[in-house]
Amino acid sequence: MAKQDMSEAEFDARHAEKMKKKKATRDKIMSTKTIEKGLLIVHAGKGKGKSTAGFGMIFRALGHGMKVAVVQFVKGRIERGERQAMERFSDLVTIKRMGEGFTWETQDRQRDIAAAHQAWDVAKELISSREYRIVLLDELNIVLRYDYIPLDDIVAFLRDEKPEDVHVIITGRNAKEELIEIADLVTEITQIKHPFRSGVKPQMGIEF
């Protein structure tokens, strides 16, 4: 029976039946999900919003009173909002800003490489300490894109040495295949439409 031939009440009844089935299916699926473990999460893709989504997870965890750590591999000018927001959770959050500025800002490869290694050492320490439920490695992918740290080292650590109960989130464009391979949750963020194209400038609260 098509929608137009039904009375409103019939349509409502059919809707209720459909939703009941949907709920039953969903409940059944969820009951099979029983494993709890620290995840390796990768936010990839070309769209803006990879870090935003990563920080969204961080704030949600902070809302639960979880301790979290953030390592910034690239010191951008875009993260002032997040940093200031995290200051309200100074009892729960540890922030390490290690990057020496974006590569096209510094134009100094050796300094970038040294900064990347320093940041990675700090990241490993924070993850291994098991003091933090989630560790966000912001813009790690960019460091890998320029081969500043051997990919094998990072994959080996995350796969073999990361404590079972720690979640690690990695953001940045051009995620390496090898990282996606070992990740539990991979989200791709793509821009379909961007205001830059219409000459709109980056605005506080949106881009930074």
Identify the H or E element spanning 105: helix 103-106
Quote the least distance from Cβ 113 to a second copy, whole Å.
Answer: 9
DSSP category for residue 167: E
Footprint on residues 122-141 left by a second copy (CB under 8 A): 133-134
The site map against a second copy for 145-164 (x = CB under 8 A) is: --------------------
Quote the least distance from Cβ 163 to a second copy, whole Å.
Answer: 15
Quote the least distance from Cβ 10 to a second copy, whole Å.
Answer: 11
Q: Which is nearer to a second copy, 68 or 123 (CB)?
A: 68
The DSSP bridge partners found for residue 135 are 69, 168
Q: Which residues contact 193 (CB under 8 A, 6 or more apart)?
A: none
Q: Which of 170, 194, 146, 153 is nearest to 47 (CA)?
A: 194
Footprint on residues 43-62 left by a second copy (CB under 8 A): 43-45, 47-49, 51-57, 59-62
Pick from 6, 10, 19, 156 the residue near a second copy by CB under 8 A: 19
Q: Which is nearer to a second copy, 5 or 84 (CB)?
A: 84
Residue with tokens 């959770």: 89
Sign of the torsion formed by the C-alpha atoms of 121, 127, 130 and 136: positive
Is residue 187 within 8 Å of 42, Cβ to Cβ? yes
Footprint on residues 78-97 left by a second copy (CB under 8 A): 80-89
